[in-house]
Each structure stands twice: as structure tokens, then as C-alpha cells.
């Protein structure tokens, strides 16, 4: 059951009380991807329980691109490290591209499991409106 966040487990068990959870890494990666999407599309200050949950509005950063590239990398990394405990050894790297209307970053990390040795990778794309899409 560790592959899901607590609220996801409660929601799944409410829908199907007989369901058993496996310790499937693919299931955990899908859950992490959905959680990263949620975290990185939440603006800091919009969650009453934690003022620092989420990320700042990246539209301000995009206006000063390319100087802000390292700031965005650092902000994404710090946010992921703080709010996604299922990942460790997080790295965020800018991916240059021809499309000047969005910014792409690669997120590399390891699952915070004793037996996890292989890194997992996600790609994030920040569009001109500051919305972030996460793919694996």
C-alpha cells in the first residue's frame, strides 16, 4: 500500500473495500507522477494548511528566461524533495528545445525504497501560462 498516498488509499478502499494493494513499483510511479502534477500546479500560498506547498508563479520566471533557468530548476527540486517523500536523490535538469513557448525539464530520482537502485525519470513541461505537465 506504500505505492499510494494516504488520501488515495482511503478513496480506493472506499470504492472497493475488498481490494488488496500490491507493492508494485509501476503503481507507485503512476501515483508519484499524479502527485507531482498536483504539487507543481499548485501555487504557493493557495493551500491553507501549508503556505509553502506548491511552486511560485513561473510566468514571472519565464519573463526573465534564460537567466531564470537555474532558479526554476532549484525551485522544482526543492519542492519535490519537500513534498514527495517517496523520491530521493532528486535532480532537475533543463532540456533545451526549439519551442520557445514552453520550458522542459527532466526530473530524475530514485524511489525511496530499500531495494530501489534504478533511477526513474519524468519530464515536465511548463507552458506559457505556467501550467506544468508531467510525463514519464
Element (H, E) at 15: helix 6-15
Domain extent, residue 119, equals 27-135
Q: What is the pLDDT of residue 9?
A: 61
Could you tell me if residue 127 is inside a domain? yes
Give the pLDDT mean for 4-21: 63
Number of structural domains (the chain) is 1
pTM: 0.78
Could you tell me if residue 22 is inside a domain? no
Q: What is the CATH number of the domain that holds 76?
A: 3.10.450.40
Alpha-helical (H) ranges within 42-123 are 59-63, 69-83
Name the band, by pLDDT with cuts 50, 70 and 90, for residue 76.
very high
Residue of 59 and 87 predicted with greater confidence:
87
Give yes or no for residue 1 having a pLDDT over 50.
Answer: no
Amino acid at each position: 500500500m506504500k505505492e499510494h498516498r494516504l488520501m488515495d488509499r482511503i478513496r480506493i478502499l472506499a470504492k472497493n473495500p475488498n481490494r488488496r494493494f500490491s507493492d508494485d513499483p509501476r503503481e507507485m510511479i503512476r501515483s508519484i507522477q499524479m502527485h507531482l502534477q498536483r504539487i507543481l500546479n499548485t501555487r504557493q500560498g493557495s493551500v491553507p494548511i501549508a503556505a509553502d506547498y506548491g511552486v511560485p508563479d513561473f510566468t514571472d520566471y519565464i519573463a526573465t528566461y534564460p537567466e531564470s533557468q537555474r532558479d526554476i530548476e532549484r525551485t522544482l527540486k526543492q519542492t519535490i524533495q519537500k513534498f514527495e517523500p517517496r523520491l530521493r536523490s532528486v535532480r532537475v535538469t533543463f532540456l533545451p528545445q526549439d519551442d520557445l513557448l514552453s520550458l522542459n525539464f527532466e526530473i530524475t530520482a530514485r524511489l525511496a525504497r530499500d531495494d530501489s537502485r534504478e533511477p526513474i525519470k519524468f519530464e515536465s513541461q511548463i507552458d506559457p501560462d505556467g501550467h506544468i505537465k508531467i510525463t514519464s
